[in-house]
Structure formats: C-alpha cells, structure tokens
Amino acid sequence: MSVEMTAASQVVLTTGQHVLSVISGFAVGFSLSLIGGGGSILAVPLLLYLVGYPKPHVVIGTTALAVSANAFFNLVPHAYAGNVRWKEAILFAIVGAIAAFAGSSAGKAVGSEKLLFLFAILMLVIAALMLRRGKSGGRQNLAESDAPANQHKMVKLIGAAGAVGLLSGFFGIGGGFLIVPGLVFPTGMPMISAIGSSLVSVGTFGLVTALNYARSGLLDWRVAGLYLSGGIFGGWIGSRIATRLGHSGKGTLNVIFSVVVALVALYILYRNLAAFAPAQ
C-alpha cells in the first residue's frame, strides 16, 4: 500500500490518454444523467482498461471524486425538470454518507482484484432485480408511485440508505446503480424521480469515499479534472433524454439501466477471473 500511496504523483499520461480520459468522462456524465447510475461502473473500468491507468486503488479514489463532481453538476438539469424528490434524496444522502465512510475504510484493506470481482457479482444481482421491476412496471405503477412517502416507507428508506452507503464506500463507487434501486424499492417512486434524486447521494457518497482515499494519497487530481470536463457535457445530453423517456411510462429506463449494468459487470468478471483462480 505504501508504494501505491505515492503512485498517483508518479504516473505520467500521454496526450492520447488525456483525450481518452475526457471521452471517458463524457460517458460517465451521460450515464449518470440518463440512468442515475453507471458513473463508477463505467468510470473504473474505463480508467483501468481504456485509459490504461496502472494503479487500481488510485483509480477507485480518482473516479470517486470525478463521479461525485459530475453528479452534483448534472443534478442541476434534473432539478430544473422537476425530477428530484428532495426530502427522500437528502435523507438518503445523509444516512448513506455516514455508512460510506465506514465502507471505504474497509475497502482500502481488500485486494483490488478481488474488490472488482465482488463488485461485478453485485452488479449482476442488481441488474436482474431492476429488469424484473421494469417488466412488471408500466403506467399503473408509475401512477401509484406518485403517492407521498409515509412513515413506514421512510424507515425502509433509512435502512436501504445505510446498506447502500456501506456497499458504495466498500467498492469505492458513487453508488448510483445501488442508490436508484435503494430509492425505488422502499418508496415506489417513479424511475425518473429516483434517477434525479439519486444524484444527491451519488455526489455525497463519492465525495466521502474520495476524501478518504485522498488522505491516503490514492487520488489523481489531474485525471479527475479531465473526467469532469467531459462529464458536464455528457450529463446535459443524458438528462434531456432521461426526462423524455422517464415520462413515457414504458419502463424503458429500467431496461437501459439493467443492460448497461449487466454488460459492464460481465466485462469486469472477464478481466478479473484470475483473482479467484487456484494458485498453480
């Protein structure tokens, strides 16, 4: 760990890697605004495998900061479109952020390859659950979910926030792909509301995780800035598409969410099967 803690300042990127970082940031911002998740599930593998950044723990810390900044910037167009339920969003963010700090402390102590492998398994489970909900959704569920959250739902929301925060911090992710279902299942809110509201928690969780990694020297500020520069534009486009699809009542966002999560999970599993292979 001590070698990796100083690695961020020693890594020299080429001009091509700088360009790829901006493109990766565009994809991250677009995904965050479109489905409220996919920020870190794209940011981590893109920085590791497309950009070619050599230090996995620095990648986790750096992408946590980049996703956090992108989420806060991309919250603006969603709020303007009325896609944010502030009460649920703020409560989820506060409870989850406390849990995320504990989770990120544990995550730094786990081998990075095994961390990514477990991350991918969890992603596949979430993808299946959200796809199932999308198929059983439709206009009736959308209407029912517009009812205000009652006390029982808020208690369930607090429990979900704690669980999601722990997992988000542990895996070093902004957690949108966990936060969106964490908002949807306890409250029954529409997918578009969960997407907009999730950005409050994505930004907060990512910031907590990034600061925890930064104090250990596991953060590359240059790359985080490149990711943000591309993400702002990508997020503006994604929010416009999400708002249009979210009000169609056809469950399209659920399907897109599930497919993106599953595809990235399968790719990460493919790249990290060696972590659990028996020693020769």
Q: Is pLDDT of 280 > 60?
A: no
Question: Mean pLDDT across the chain, nearest whole number?
Answer: 80
- Sequence-separated (6 or more) residues with CB below 8 Å from residue 20: 46, 50, 51
Q: What are phi and psi of 11, to 5 degrees?
A: -75, 125
Maximum average pLDDT range among 104-113, 119-128, 194-203, 241-250: 194-203
Q: pTM for this structure?
A: 0.75
For residue 262, give the nearest of 126, 91, 139 by alpha carbon.
Answer: 126
Residue 108: predicted pLDDT: 67
- When pLDDT is averaged across residues 220-249 and rounded to a whole number, the result is 87
pLDDT score, position 274: 60
Q: Give residue 39's pLDDT.
A: 74
8 Å CB contact between 213 and 108: yes
DSSP, res 49: I
Would you say 161 and 216 are in contact if contact means Cβ atoms under 8 Å apart? no
Query: What is the C-alpha separation between 163 and 168, in angstroms, rounded?
Result: 9
Give the whole-angstrom CA distance, residue 112 versus residue 63. Answer: 14
In the predicted structure, residue 3 carries a pLDDT above the cut 60: no
Mean pLDDT of 105-121: 71
Distance (Å, rounded) from C-alpha 165 to C-alpha 98?
7
Confidence (pLDDT) at 84: 93
